[in-house]
Structure 1
Amino acid sequence: MTQCQKLRMSGRDKNILWGLMLHFTVAACQSVHHPSNVCAMTGSTVTIPCTFTPLRTCCSPTGPQVKLKVVRVRWCSNHLICHGTTPSVYDSEFKTTDLNRESRYKYLGNKTGDCTLQIRNVEKSDESILRFRMEVNYSVGHFTEPSGVNLKVVESMKLKVTHDGALSPGGSLSLFCSAQSQHCSFQNMEVTWMKDGHTLSEKGPALRINALTAGDSGNYTCALKNVKNTGSAAFSLIMNVDEEDSDNLILTVGVVFGALLALFTLILLFIIFKRKRAAAAHEGHTSVGEETSVKSDHIYSHIVLSDGHKITQTVDDVSYAAILFKHTKQSSSNRGIAGKEEAVVYSSVVCR
């Protein structure tokens, strides 16, 4: 073997080694999560929950890192790699040639992290191992989840209702519609809930009831949506209000009513007191004004002069007034000092 051949072999080995390392690195950085086993009944609708984590970047052996983006997602049946021209039950790039499956298989996910698949009107031929594959804009980043979902299809099943929670007034209760088979449990089924034969709005496998009351009592059943003769046995929910709780409720209502009545009485008394006080103040101002008017109008005057003459003027019979004027003559010796006569006035007022 020549030296050139040795160098070529050495370079080839390096490329193989690099490729293996890159493959395991890519596989470790990507992941797909879904249940391993799913059971469904013919004629029903089953949903397979699925999430995936794609590779964001990848480094090439001869260049810088490449930013990756998912460009294609696929679900295929009974194929290990699910690549190339492998028939798919769903392909984001190409429509399947199986028109029957195309109308019944619906992809509920996207190209960023959700790979949920739904199968309507399940048939016996749908029983298979389903695998999810994502493809990116760089071939090294393509990935197929190897384990897949083992879908089992049965002709009939028996549903049952189980519960979780406290059966007490005001509590919360969850009812679950489930079924068991020899191979796996039935999950993610589209079911219809009924109470005493009346259909409820809830459609999922779980029914949540919050703040339990006596009105929630009844017989609850579940059945597969659009599938006849799949109703479960009834689950009887009985909510009885205890006598003690009833007495406490009556006591509480009585206390609240009494408090409101007392408050209303206090407000009414306060309003009456304010009105009486305002009326009394108004009457006081009125009496004072009338008394002043009477005193100013009802006056009798009786004036007596020093010479004995009397002047009497009658105004009313309530008040009397008498005035006496007396002049005193002064001697001539005092005239120089005073210069005028002094006057003494006596007056008296009588009010009746």
Structure 2
Amino acid sequence: MLQIILLLLHDILRIVSLGILEENWNVQIPYSVCGVRGSNVSIPCNFTYPKNDPIQVTQMLWCSKRQHEKCDINGPYVYNSAYKHNQSNYEYIGNNISNCCLMISDINSKNSGEYLFRFITTLNLGTFTSTHDVDVTIKDLNVSMSRSRDNGSITVGDSLNLTCTVSCPGHSPELQWFKDNEPTTNSGPILTFKSVKHKDSGNYSCALKIFKSSESKQISLYVEGTDSVSSDISGSTTYFWVIGVCSLVSIIILIVVAVTLISRRRAKIHEMPQKEGKTAQINTVTQTVQTNLQRTEDVLHEEEVQYASLNIKPKEVWANTEQQKEDSTIYSTVRVHEVKGEM
């Protein structure tokens, strides 16, 4: 009889202990997690167990139901804390006390599916697996276009928007835009073209800012028409930088030239009195020389006149004397003949 009572008491205690286990042992995980292809996805997880008993967690396990439907003790697991080498893109970022988060890096379609968490303790029957699984889904970034004109080709001057979206609920990630596989300075979910230009033609895509591998498929944009010179100038930041630098250099050059000219002018003004004094001295010397030359010319002219007078006077006297002699001779001859006739 006593044995029967002891057996019944043992069963009652076992039932009570199991009830306590069911009440205090738990794993909290979401029902679904959505991630962008090529990015990292974290599965939030917390676990609890009776803290009033000397219980220690000895092993943490994550399994994928694609590989292991029941996720029991036999495995296999995508992560097992007892293993030193787990799959490279699965990282346990929790601990052995309460946090059981799992990080899946560079996620792709192979990583989608349902996951369960299981932990093992030092207590007999102290093994617990999450009561439900978490469904991990993978989504791609997509680029769509909205235009001011629904029909016809895109021409220069049209307005349009490129929008980067992901169908994961609650996601508002930082984005990066690419043109022809080269990063642009644009960020945010919407890329706006208020007045599209021909040079805006190209293949556009978007990606999570810190995950280039999450890049979306490209969307092609072709703009018909030719950009005007004015639109190119107004739309080119580089052009304005060049113009600004050139203008600044030109202003500096003008200032330097102006300062140089002013300095030279001041120097000339300072030297003018000295030059004027020298010029006056030169003019005085020149006038003196000219006066002396004039006086010399006058003296020479007077001497020439005197010499001329001396030379002319003897000639005139000689000529008159000769003429008188001739006249006397003629007159003498005539007179002699007339005397003979009268006799």
Same fold (TM over 0.5): no
TM-score normalized by the length of structure 2: 0.42
Q: Which has the higher helix share?
A: 2
Higher strand proportion (structure 1 or 2)? 1
TM-score by length of 1: 0.41
